[in-house]
């Protein structure tokens, strides 16, 4: 599955937070941060942590890229 976290990154820019600062605030590991940056899936628990901190829903931070658009 391919995902896109651009909406999350836009929110962080609006909040004037770097990815690293955000990860430190909510306890994301460097591995999870790398997965976010590479558009890889992360655990549901981490998505919940992100949404709890930002007071938003999954749809606000993640986009699932359809198989047709991935060229698979």
Task: Give me the CATH number covering residue 52.
Answer: 1.10.260.40
Distance CA 29, CA 59 (A): 22
Tokens encoding 67? 């198989």
Domain count, the chain: 1
pLDDT given for residue 1 in this prediction: 66
Expressed as residue numbers, the domain containing 44 is 2-65
Q: What pTM, to 2 d.p., does this model score?
A: 0.87
Instruction: Note the pLDDT tens digit of each residue in 53-70.
Output: 999 999 999 999 887 776
* Spans in the chain with pLDDT lower than 50: none
pLDDT given for residue 67 in this prediction: 76
pLDDT given for residue 66 in this prediction: 84
pLDDT given for residue 70 in this prediction: 63
């Amino acid at each position: 599955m391919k995902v896109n976290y651009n909406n999350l990154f836009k929110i962080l820019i609006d909040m004037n937070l770097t990815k690293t600062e955000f990860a430190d605030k909510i306890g994301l590991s460097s591995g999870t941060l790398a997965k976010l940056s590479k558009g890889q899936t992360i655990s549901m628990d981490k998505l919940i942590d992100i949404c709890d901190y930002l007071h938003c829903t999954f749809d606000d931070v993640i986009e699932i890229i359809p198989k047709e658009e991935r060229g698979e």
